[in-house]
Each structure stands twice: as C-alpha cells, then as structure tokens.
Amino acid sequence: MTTDFRTAVRLAVDDEARLRAALVESDIAPMLMVLVQLTGDMGILEEVAPHIQGPWNFLQTVPEPLKARVRDRLVAVLQDFAAHDRPAPPRPAPEVLQRMMSAGVGQPVPPEYIPLLLEEMSFGEEDTRAVHWQRDPASRPVDGFKVVVIGAGLGGLCAAIRLKQLGIPFEVLEKNADVGGTWLENSYPGCAVDTPNHFYSYSFHINNHWTRHFSRRDEILAYIREVVRAHDLRPHIRFGVEVTGAAYDEACADWQVSWRDGAGAAHSGRCNALITAVGQLNRPAIPPIEGLSRFRGPAFHTGHWDAGVDLKGKRVAMIGTGASGMQAGPSIVGDVGHLRIFQRTPHWAVNNRNYHLPVTPGHTWSLEHLPYYSNWLRFQQFWASSDGFHASLHVDPDWPQPAQSLNATNHQMREMIVDYVRGELGGDEALLAKCIPAYPPYGKRMLRDNHWYRMLRRENVTLETDPISHFTEDAIVMKDGTVHPVDVVIFATGFAASRMLWPLEIQGRDGHSIRADWGEDDPRAYLGMTAPAYPNLFMLYGPNTNLAHGGSIIFHSECQVRYIMQALRLMIEQGVESLEVRPEVHDAYNQRLDEKARGMVWTHPGVTSWYKNSRNRLTVTSPWRLLDYWGMTREFDPAQFVAHRAAGAPSSLPALPSPAPAATP
C-alpha cells in the first residue's frame, strides 16, 4: 500500500459501485484473507476453505453465492471502518495467521514458515529486509570505504539500492548500455517470465500494475528501469564497460578491478569490497556442430536475437527445445514458411491457465486500493511457486520405476503432464513419443507450455529427433544423410552456466585464481556467496543458488544482499579490513550440499543438464528449500569468517567471536 490504512479505506469505499465491480474481478482467496484480517471472523474462513483446492486461483471452486456473500460482507466492513475512522487492526496472532494461510492456499502451511512469510508479505510500510547500522553514525568511517558491483541486472541493482540506503560509497560497472541484465539482452519473440509477476518483483518495490499474470520481457524491463529511476541509481552506474578481471592486493587489503571501455581502452580502479552480480545466463552456448562457419545464411542465438532478419516465408531451423525455444517457436511460427525444430532431448512443460491471461482491471484496482489484498496475493503466489513440491523431488529408494520417476507423487505429476500433452497433440502417439522425456519430471528445468505442443501439430512445423552431422552452405545434414535446406538458423541452446564468473579472471590471495580453483565446471562457494582465499569478495547468484523447484531468483537475491550488507556493516563498524570465510566452514557446507543433492532429481543418472557438471555434481541449482536458504542467510555470523582489523582501528571495538559450527538446515 502506498497510503496509510485509514486513507486507503476511505478511498476504497468512496465509489461503492467501483469497489463492487472490482471485487467481482478479484481473486477470492486474497479477498477472503482481507476480510478475515479486518474482522477476525474465522467462521467465514472455515466456510470457504473447503472450496479452495490449491494456491492457484483456477484451483478455487467457491460457489458464486458464497463469493457474493464474501464480497458483500467485505464492502460493509470497509464502509464501517471508514465511517468510524477505525485504525488498522492488529496483526493476527501466529496461530491465526497459520490457519488463514493454510485455508488461503488449500494446503497446510507449517508454523516454521510464518516468520518468512510475514517478512515476504511486508505488512505495513516497513522494509522488512533492509539492513540498519548498529553503531553511532559518527563512528562509522564510510567515506574511506568503497564497493564495486559488477552487473546492473536484478541482483546488482538490489545490492546498489541497499548500499545507497546505508550510505556506503559504491559504483556499478555494467557492460551493456542500459540496466536490466538478461532482460535487456534477451529480446527474442515471446520472451517472458515463468514465475507469476506479483512474486517476481522486489519485496520492497511492489508493482501492482502488471498487465499480465506472467509478463513479457518489455514490461519486466520497464519495471527494472522504474526501480532504477525511483532509487536514483543511474549516477552510480558506469555503462559500456566490461570488467575483465580483479586481483586482491593482500598488502592493501583491497581489490584492483580491471575493465575495458567501449573503445577497447583498458582501465582499473580499487575497492574495499567486490560484489559480482554477473548472472549465470548471459554467455550463450553454441554447440560445436561441424561446418557452421560455412553456413551462408543468418545464424544467431536467442540470447542475441537479430531483429534485422526477416523470417517471413523463410525455412527456419531452430536448434534446441529449452525455455527460449519453447517461447520463441510458437511466437514466430505464424510468420515463417517452415519451422524445423532439432531436439536433442525433450523437456517437461506444464500448463498454467494464467500464463497467457491478462490481468483484469478489477484485479488491478484491488491490488492498488484494497488494504492487504496485494500482500495476500504475494503470499499466495509465493506458496504456489516455492516449496510446496520440494519433498516430491527426493528419490524413494524403493520406488519400482526409478528411470521414469522418483516416487509416487513425482509419478503422479508425470502422468498428469503426459495426459495433458496427449490432449494437446490430438492423441498423436508417434509425436507424443518424441515429446515425453525418459527422465523424471523436474530433472531439467520445468517449462511453461507456450502453446508449444499445439504448434508441433501445424503443417509448417517438423520436429527432428535424430542427430545432426554437419552444416553445408545452405542446409543441415543429419547423421543418416538426410539433407534439410534452411535459410535461417536459430540456436535455442542455453548458456554456459556452469562456467561461473567466466570470462572474468579473478585472482585471490597467495596465487589463487577462480579459474584454477573451480576448473572448467566445478564452482563452489559458502552459501553460494563467498570462498576461501578471496577476502571481501561476495557473489550474487553464485554456485548452487539457481532455483529449479520454483521460487523467484529475486527472493534469493534479496536473501544474499541482506547477508552481504551485514558483512559490510561489520567491516565498517568494527574496522575490519579483510573478511574471509573459513575453509572448514566452506568445505563442511559444500559437503552437506552434495549429500543433500545426491538423493534429488537433478543428480538422477538419466538426466544430462546444465545444472550439474561432467562428474554429475550439482553445481548450479540449490537443493535447499527456500525456507532453508532464508534461514541460513538471515543473519551474518562473523564466527564463520577470518577477520583482520585495519591498523589503527579503535581499541574499544569488541573482540571478534571464535569460530562456531556452521548452521545445518
């Protein structure tokens, strides 16, 4: 809410006809939660709850007369609050909130989630993830401290906002000409988010005006630019410079960062702490197919879409069937003469009825004007998109079909998707066999169906599943000798995600380098953020922080940024010049992570994906529940780090604590 409670209520009831019309178009579950929060009436909650079958709005089967009663009661309650100028009611007790939340999503919400959900919902005006100083401002030497952030995507901008709020001098170095990161670089047709938008946004900068439930790229980029404008970040960002490397100077306890400007000239600068926010999905991976250099037509990756290429009437080859292919293919199929899709392995894709739907005007009105409605919708989408099915991604050692699924729940998911795909393909069993993966659901990234299966039935679409041999000047030749003439080649083949921080050359202390320590595909970090031998270096979206079981990478970024800000606060307030995670803490964490991952779907022997390295070790994806990672990153623990104070630091500073065992989720 952008106004105080009393004002919001008065504005909401000012036009009763408008209010009632908006409520008709609004989701019943968050509307019910608003009513219960305002009245404390658990009776109406229990009456409606049996009709809410899950967290998505299309899983709610509340009879229309009961919906009308909720709407009428809510209008009357709001009018009573306005007439008597009543203040906001107190927040419900935790046990009441748990009952409300469980009813609102049609599933039990365990008590352990309540603190996280309250923080995520952010009732009132408080920024629940902001970090505040603990010492007298006059004693903080922030003027002699500088942070460099590499990257102006969603993670880097989150760090920049928090640094600015704390008054810590900083600069963001961005290789592109504008903000947005992957949302700036990926402009292919159909590019969209696959997390519901009211959740895929900063908790401290809610947007109640999304036009779609799953917004397209341009609208997300506009949101990012609005965040930058609202927080006045552009003066802190240096655009058009690509960081090439960074080296830690042990004598000075700082980092020397090197970059190239747009003209190719080399530059460098120093900082006390370095935050990398370069993402994982920004370096396109092109398969090494023989003869590609001989192909005379346009050939480009979805991550570098060439809008100057006219596809109308062309014979287009799309290599790859991952997320970008599933979005781009149906978006261009109406223009091309023929679309030939080359698939190495199929992907699982689920249907979500909201994926193509616009947001109704009434729903938008309620988000903006109805007290607490926006908060409850964010909770609903968080729960729908996070930990609800995490337990189903673990291997049951006694399950009789281990190649196809992991357990009974995972198999039920498989059968549900197969039935859906069979229907979309019109019962074409031969085509169905090409589209159904042999591995369990969620072994690779779970995709949203963008009318992909319907597209495959079109007369101008062919799905190839045999291997490619080589390119000629104007064709793709298969291993069996078949020749497919093509005019344009589009690579929807993903990114070099396992080569994290590549191509940066990062040199730590004592001759350590990220490239040597991690090798080609084995990145490791404590909490995905810090590594031994790299003092004052913090990584956003680092090893094992990608989310593949739901959730929002923005949520993970906010957890990471809060943790990093607490570390920087300790450095500044206690005169610490270097902060480095202890090797035993780092190693113990990664051992627990590997043990956790070994029994989960992503390390299934039948799955090859960018989530893991050549030795079947999970390197990209987090095996933890969102609740676990939130708990591990909520409070920075200095006992897990080696800290060295600067010469001349005040002797009155408290002693730094001794090492403590790392927290276990």
Tell me the pLDDT band of 496, cut-offs 50, 70 and 90. confident
**H-helix or E-strand containing 576?**
strand 576-581
Strands 349-350 and 447-448: parallel
Q: Which pLDDT belongs to residue 435?
A: 97
User: Could you tell me if 170 and 208 lie in one domain?
Assistant: yes
| Contact criterion met (CB below 8 Å) for 619 and 543 | yes
The residue written with tokens 């030795």 in the block is: 615
Neighbours of 36 (CB within 10 A): 25
Average pLDDT of the chain, as a whole number: 93
Strand, coil or helix: 567: helix
Q: HEC profile for 584-613?
A: HHHHHHHHHHHHHHHCEHHHCCCCCCCCEC
Give me 293's structure tokens. 């250099």
Q: Which pLDDT belongs to residue 658?
A: 47
Whether pLDDT at 98 is above 60: yes
Q: What is the DSSP string of 26-38?
A: S-HHHHHHHHHHH
Q: Is the Cα torsion angle 97, 102, 105, 106 positive or negative in sign?
A: negative
Residue 137 lies in a domain: no
Q: Which pLDDT belongs to residue 141?
A: 67
Measured between its terminal Cα atoms, the distance across the chain in Å is 34
Q: Which pLDDT belongs to residue 139?
A: 64
Find, among 27, 28, 29, 31, the residue nearest to 12 by Cα: 31
Residue 54 lies in a domain: yes
DSSP secondary structure code for residue 440 in this structure: P
Residue 257 lies in a domain: yes
Residues 65-82: tens digit of each pLDDT? 999 999 999 999 999 999
Last residue of a domain, one of 459, 491, 523: 491
Residues 327-369: tens digit of each pLDDT? 999 999 999 999 999 999 999 999 999 999 999 999 999 999 9
Instruction: Give the chain's domain count.
Output: 3
User: Could you tell me if 561 and 506 lie in one domain?
Assistant: yes
Buried b (16+ CB within 10 A) or exposed e, 330-344: bbbbeebebbbbbbe
Residue 308, domain CATH:
3.50.50.60
Q: Which pLDDT belongs to residue 122?
A: 85
Find, among 156, 149, 316, 312, the residue nearest to 228 by Cα: 156
Residue 457 lies in a domain: yes
Residues 192-250: tens digit of each pLDDT? 999 999 999 999 999 999 999 999 999 999 999 999 999 999 999 999 999 999 999 99
Find, among 262, 264, 260, the residue nearest to 243 by Cα: 260
Whether pLDDT at 652 is above 60: no
Higher pLDDT, 539 or 445: 539
Give me 359's structure tokens. 């947001």
Across the range 461-475, mean pLDDT stands at: 98
Across the range 564-591, mean pLDDT stands at: 96
Across the range 318-323, mean pLDDT stands at: 94
| Contact criterion met (CB below 8 Å) for 390 and 601 | no
User: Could you tell me if 162 and 267 lie in one domain?
Assistant: yes
Higher pLDDT, 3 or 76: 76
**What is d(CA 140, CA 644) in angstroms, rounded to the nearest whole number?**
17
Q: Is the Cα torsion angle 256, 537, 622, 210 positive or negative in sign?
A: negative
Residues 269-289: tens digit of each pLDDT? 999 999 999 988 778 889 999
User: Could you tell me if 304 and 196 lie in one domain?
Assistant: no
DSSP secondary structure code for residue 39 in this structure: H
User: Could you tell me if 77 and 123 lie in one domain?
Assistant: yes
Residues 365-414: tens digit of each pLDDT? 999 999 999 999 999 999 998 888 899 999 999 999 999 999 999 999 99
Q: Which pLDDT belongs to residue 464?
A: 98
Residue 663 lies in a domain: no
Neighbours of 644 (CB within 10 A): 16
**What is d(CA 367, CA 340) in angstroms, rounded to the nearest whole number?**
43
Q: Which pLDDT belongs to residue 610?
A: 86
Residue 395 lies in a domain: no
**What is d(CA 74, CA 157) in angstroms, rounded to the nearest whole number?**
39
Q: Which pLDDT belongs to residue 651?
A: 45
Single-letter amino acid code for the residue at 455: M
Higher pLDDT, 661 or 67: 67
Residues 138-151: tens digit of each pLDDT? 666 677 899 999 99
Tell me the pLDDT band of 656, cut-offs 50, 70 and 90. low
Whether pLDDT at 654 is above 80: no
Containing domain of residue 27, as a range? 5-129+361-387
Give me 12's structure tokens. 């909401």
Q: Which pLDDT belongs to residue 386?
A: 86
Q: Give Cα separations from 90 to 37, 97, 102, 113 (angstroms).
A: 9, 12, 20, 20
Q: In degrees rounded to 5, what are phi and psi of residue 616?
A: 70, 20
Strand, coil or helix: 425: coil
Whether pLDDT at 587 is above 90: yes
User: Could you tell me if 100 and 60 lie in one domain?
Assistant: yes
User: Could you tell me if 527 and 628 lie in one domain?
Assistant: yes
Strands (E), 87-205: 147-150, 170-174
Across the range 473-497, mean pLDDT stands at: 95
Buried b (16+ CB within 10 A) or exposed e, 189-215: bbbbbbbbbbbbbbbbbbbbebebbbb
Q: Which pLDDT belongs to residue 497?
A: 74
**H-helix or E-strand containing 557?**
helix 553-573
Strands (E), 254-352: 254-260, 266-271, 273-276, 299-301, 315-319, 338-342, 349-350
Residue 135 lies in a domain: no
For 607, half-sphere exposure in the C-beta direction (CA atoms, 13 angstrom radius) is: 28
Whether pLDDT at 258 is above 70: yes
- The answer, yes or no, to whether the previous bond of 503 is cis (omega within 30 of 0) is yes
User: Could you tell me if 331 and 368 lie in one domain?
Assistant: no
User: Could you tell me if 519 and 620 lie in one domain?
Assistant: yes
